[in-house]
Amino acid sequence: MSIYPIILSQTTFTHKDNLTYPFEERGLQFGDGIYEVVRIYNGQYDLFEEHLNRLFRSAEAIQLELPFTKEQLAQLLMELLKKNDMTADGIIYLQATRGSAPRNHVFPKEASTNVYAYVRDLPRNETNQANGVCTITQPDERWRNCYIKSLNLLPNVLAKQAATEKGCYEAILHLDGEVTECASSNVYMIKSGKIYTYPATNRILKGCVRIRVHNYADEIGVPFIEESFSTEAIASADELFLSSTTSEILPITKVDDTVIANGRPGPITRQLQKRFEQQIEQYRSCTTEYTK
Ligand SMILES: Cc1ncc(COP(=O)(O)O)c(C=O)c1O
């Protein structure tokens, strides 16, 4: 799963080996920046507009000037795939920081935004999709502006590490017993035919796949209720699942020592997964735009 050779650096393209930053770089020293991860299926971006919109929202929230308009960035990212002849399943990772400058908390006057984006392969994880995953619960120790996709991910890293050490896939975060989201995904509980998930406030990242889950729920007539649920309620949940760009819609079958329902992915989760499969099937049936 290596990185493709050509990367976007600022607004031009270069070989990945040419990217060097001084160690006084604000992303490195302060986490003073933002990022996005966009899924690629068969060499085509998924939920592209949603990700670009969120990137610009995050930039505005931290007063970061981006060196392109949304339209220009879209062009550049299409070009990035083309230059790499990318036709597989993968992701792009893009980050933008407040630039390189002598270390000082205050915004540097002389620095300009550093941007890079790279492409890598990432096959779909069909085993997890089929069987579901186990999770643990962890206190949500993050700041209050989680709607910003900021580079400051230390609490998320620690929570995910705790999950991994317990042999689990994800950590479900809670604020005094109220479930917010996971370390790197949104989380949903299904109870009596309704989907519950934390409202899209500043306490969570409003996932691009979450928007899709909401649309699918509307389509299949399952109420999508933006209300928090408690860690205690999980024990009597009918189904539980998470969503993210890289995990897609993923059933959760166990939380800490609690097995969810019969320990198998539930029927509503399956319906949502099926809709997701149908959506990405469209990428299989059409040729990558630049190879037409
Ligand atoms: C904290 C957090 N919540 C939710 C998500 C899901 O967002 P998306 O569906 O846009 O991938 C992510 C994805 O990285 C995340 O890091």
- Domain residue ranges of the chain, discontinuous segments joined by +: 6-121, 126-279
In the predicted structure, residue 291 carries a pLDDT above the cut 50: no
Which of 53, 170, 175, 244 for mutating ligand 1's site (highest number of atoms within 8 Å of CB)? 244
| Alpha-carbon gap, residue 181 to 176, rounded angstroms | 13
Among the listed ranges 1-10, 57-66, 283-292, which one has the minimum average pLDDT value? 283-292
Average pLDDT of the chain?
A: 96
In the predicted structure, residue 72 carries a pLDDT above the cut 60: yes
CATH class held by domain 6-121: alpha beta
| Alpha-carbon gap, residue 124 to 126, rounded angstroms | 6
Mean pLDDT of 78-96: 98
For domain 126-279, give its CATH number from 3.20.10.10, 2.40.440.10, 3.40.50.10860, 1.25.40.10: 3.20.10.10
In the predicted structure, residue 210 carries a pLDDT above the cut 60: yes
Percent of the chain with pLDDT over 70: 98
What pTM value is reported for the model? 0.96
pLDDT value of residue 2: 85
| Alpha-carbon gap, residue 204 to 226, rounded angstroms | 12
Which of 49, 186, 241 for mutating ligand 1's site (highest number of atoms within 8 Å of CB)? 186
Indicate the SS3 state at residue 248: strand
Give yes or no for a contact between 245 and 47, defined as CB atoms under 8 angstroms apart: yes
207 CA from centroid of ligand 1 (Å)? 5
Indicate the pLDDT class of residue 285, thresholds 50, 70 and 90. confident
CA angle 180, 183, 186 (to 5 degrees): 50
Contacts of 129 (CB under 8 A, 6+ apart): 248, 250, 273
Mean pLDDT of 20-27: 95
**What is the residue with the minimal CA distance to atom 15 of ligand 1?**
184
Mean pLDDT of 138-158: 98
**What is the residue with the minimal CA distance to atom 4 of ligand 1?**
185
In the predicted structure, residue 288 carries a pLDDT above the cut 70: no
Indicate the SS3 state at residue 224: strand
For 110-202, list the strands marked E by DSSP. Answer: 114-121, 133-139, 170-175, 178-182, 186-191, 194-197
**What is the residue with the minimal CA distance to atom 3 of ligand 1?**
185
Mean pLDDT of 154-158: 98
Give yes or no for a contact between 116 and 236, defined as CB atoms under 8 angstroms apart: no
